[in-house]
């Protein structure tokens, strides 16, 4: 039987009285959540219009997005095959992924002065001569003719070959693409991984396999008689002119220094000032109030403002970064510290006072032991979050890895370097998170602040 159970009227009244909080809830309690959600949805919809999200997304260059994301994990060789005096000559970009005169297995000269470009296998290739380019896709050949004033693809071309007004664009998917023009062919060949990550082409160690390198490092003949192979390797690695490892590490160190010194100075300044701001320690309303407003001021002036301000006066580098983190954090830490001091157990202070200790001693033994773990763990939290902040304010002008990232992104061609620096930053953040978690755990046990 499925029916609503009938409750006698007397019971009903009794239940209603007994559970008034459950049954007789106010309007706001019943519909507050629904109203809040509806308001949030309406607000998001309005913001969608206000920020012009729809049209912006429609006008976005999504084809670029694919290329940029592929750049994170792969590299492109971009030779230009120029047509000069009836011959084809490859010209390389500044990134110089191959040394001069290197034998490249995907770019091979033909006997008639042309070049063959392989895109993965023999069925996908370009046969480049000065008068015609044979585009071979999956074994089928599509001849593109080049005359003095026009480049023409055949009429039966597949969608991978696109005819533009002055050029023909061939796409081989991930393997790369080619732009056939009247005077040259722009070849773009993409490979998984990061090119020349360890050694650039100037290094004697370029192009060697890991086993060869390990052999050289341990027992091999000295390639450079002046220094051991290992130190030569380290130097060549740090001086890699494409990846600039040495410079990147230096910038990363600057970012860490900004976070470390800024937080440390902030802690050192906030510590005594918090005692002045705490109502239970300093019995002076004016001093409490003034100190707390000073903290509010330091905290509320944005880190961006401090950063730009100090960059203007000290010039770009870690000093403005340190100064801006120091100013913001002494305010934020001061506030947190003062709250912690105001919440201490008064019994310990009373005990010290009853022994006739001076006020310095009362604070040293009555307050500090209670608040120190909270202080340290708070400062560690701030340090972690400041590593991230230092990256961002670096980009504003304070220097460090943030600026390096911004430079790499501004060219739109160095996304592999961006990926490398992101990996470094993630590694450093995780490392310091774990260090500070361990420290916190040792200091105050698992729970607590």
Could you say which residues in the range 335-354 bind another protein, by CB under 8 A?
336
Q: Which is nearer to another protein, 33 or 214 (CB)?
A: 33
Q: Which is nearer to another protein, 92 or 289 (CB)?
A: 289
Q: Tell me which residue has tokens 């992101």.
A: 422
Contact with another protein (CB under 8 A) among 65, 150, 214, 435: 65
Judge contact between 346 and 280, C-beta under 8 A: yes
> Looking at 53, 102, 214, 287, which residue binds another protein (CB under 8 A)?
53
CB-based contact 263:383 (threshold 8 Å): yes
- Cβ 196 vs Cβ 76: under 8 Å: no
Judged by CB under 8 A, the stretch of 92-100, 124-132, 223-231, 370-378 that binds another protein is 370-378
| Burial readout 362-398 (b: 16 or more C-beta within 10 A, e: otherwise) | bbebbbeebbebbbbbbbbbbbbebbebbbbbbbbbb
Gap between the Cα atoms of 162 and 174, Å rounded = 17
Residues 288-317 that bind another protein (CB under 8 A): 296-297, 300-305, 308-310, 312-317
Other CB atoms within 10 Å distance of the CB of residue 27: 8
- 399 phi-psi bin (left φ>0, alpha ψ -120 to 50, beta other): left
7 to 46: interface string for another protein, x by CB under 8 A: ---------------------------------x--xx--
CB of 396 to another protein, least distance (A): 5
CB of 341 vs another protein, minimal distance in Å: 14
Tell me if 238 contacts another protein by CB under 8 A. no
Q: Does 74 bind another protein (CB under 8 A)?
A: no
Only one of the segments 10-18, 100-108, 360-368, 388-396 lies at the binding site for another protein (rule: CB under 8 A); that segment is 388-396
Structure token pair of residue 229: 């192979």
Only one residue has tokens 């006020």, namely 359
Could you give the CA distance from residue 369 to residue 365 in angstroms, rounded to a whole number? 6
| 264 counts as binding another protein under rule CB under 8 A | yes
Q: ∠394-395-396 over CA atoms, to 5°? A: 90
**Nearest-10 Cα torsion for 419, 423, 426, 428:** -130
Q: Are the C-beta atoms of residues 326 and 334 closer than 8 Å to each other?
A: no
- Asked if 374 interacts with another protein (CB under 8 A), we say yes
Return d(Cα 233, Cα 217) in angstroms, integer: 8
Is residue 392 at the binding interface for another protein, with CB under 8 A as the rule?
A: yes
Shorter beta-carbon distance to another protein: residue 46 or 102: 46
User: Closest separation between CB of residue 61 and another protein, Å?
Assistant: 6
Token pair in block for residue 378: 């708070």
Measured CA to CA, the distance from residue 346 to residue 366 in angstroms comes to: 8
Q: Residue with structure tokens 């501004």?
A: 410
Among 5, 10, 21, 50, binds another protein (CB under 8 A): 50
- 161 vs 336 by CB, closer to another protein: 336
In the bound complex, what is the minimum distance in angstroms from residue 237's beta carbon to another protein?
21
- Region 405-444 residues binding another protein, contact defined as CB under 8 A: 405-406, 409, 412, 418, 422, 425-426, 429-430, 433
Task: Give CA–CA dist 126/118, Å, rounded.
Answer: 7
Q: Does 194 bind another protein (CB under 8 A)?
A: no
Q: Among residues 278, 319, 367, 371, which is the contact residue for another protein, using CB under 8 A?
A: 319
Is residue 284 at the binding interface for another protein, with CB under 8 A as the rule? Answer: no
Residue in 282, 267, 286 with CA at minimum distance from that of residue 325 = 267
- Minimum separation from the CB atom of position 51 to another protein (A): 5
């Amino acid at each position: 039987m499925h029916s609503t159970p009938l409750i006698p009227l007397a019971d009903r009244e009794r239940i209603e009285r007994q559970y008034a909080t459950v049954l007789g809830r106010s309007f706001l309690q019943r519909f507050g959540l629904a109203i809040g959600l509806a308001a949030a949805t309406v607000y998001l919809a309005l913001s969608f219009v206000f920020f012009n999200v729809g049209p912006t997304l429609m006008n976005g260059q999504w084809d670029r997005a694919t290329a940029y994301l592929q750049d994170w994990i792969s590299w492109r060789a971009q030779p230009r095959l120029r047509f000069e005096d009836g011959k084809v000559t490859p010209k390389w970009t500044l990134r110089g992924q191959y040394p001069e005169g290197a034998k490249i297995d995907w770019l091979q000269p033909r006997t008639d002065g042309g070049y063959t470009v392989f895109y993965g296998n023999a069925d996908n290739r370009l046969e480049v001569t000065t008068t015609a380019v044979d585009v071979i896709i999956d074994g089928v050949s599509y001849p593109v003719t080049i005359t003095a004033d026009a480049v023409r693809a055949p009429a039966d071309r597949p969608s991978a070959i696109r005819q533009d007004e002055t050029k023909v664009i061939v796409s081989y998917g991930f393997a790369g693409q080619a732009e056939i023009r009247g005077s040259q062919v722009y070849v773009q060949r993409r490979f998984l991984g990061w090119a020349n990550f360890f050694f650039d082409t100037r290094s004697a160690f370029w192009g060697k396999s890991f086993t060869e390198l390990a052999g050289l490092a341990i027992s091999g003949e000295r390639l450079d008689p002046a220094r051991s192979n290992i130190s030569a390797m380290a130097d060549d690695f740090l001086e890699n002119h494409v990846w600039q490892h040495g410079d990147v590490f230096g910038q990363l160190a600057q970012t860490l220094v900004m976070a470390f010194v800024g937080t440390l100075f902030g802690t050192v300044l906030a510590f005594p000032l918090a005692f002045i701001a705490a109502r239970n320690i300093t019995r002076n309303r004016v001093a409490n109030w003034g100190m707390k407003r000073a903290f509010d001021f330091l905290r509320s002036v944005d880190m961006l403002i401090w950063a730009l301000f100090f960059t203007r006066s000290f010039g770009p580098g870690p000093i403005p970064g340190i100064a801006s983190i120091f100013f913001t954090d002494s305010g934020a830490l001061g506030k947190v510290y003062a709250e912690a001091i105001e919440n201490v157990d008064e019994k310990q202070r009373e005990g010290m006072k009853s022994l006739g200790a001076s006020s310095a001693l009362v604070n040293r033994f009555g307050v500090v032991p209670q608040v120190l773990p909270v202080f340290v763990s708070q400062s560690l939290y701030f340090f972690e979050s400041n590593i991230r902040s230092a990256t961002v304010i670096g980009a504003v002008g304070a220097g460090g890895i943030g600026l390096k990232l911004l430079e790499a992104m501004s060219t739109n061609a160095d996304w592999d370097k961006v990926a490398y620096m992101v990996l470094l930053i993630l590694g450093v953040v995780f490392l310091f998170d774990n260090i500070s978690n361990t420290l916190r755990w040792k200091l105050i046990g698992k729970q607590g602040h």
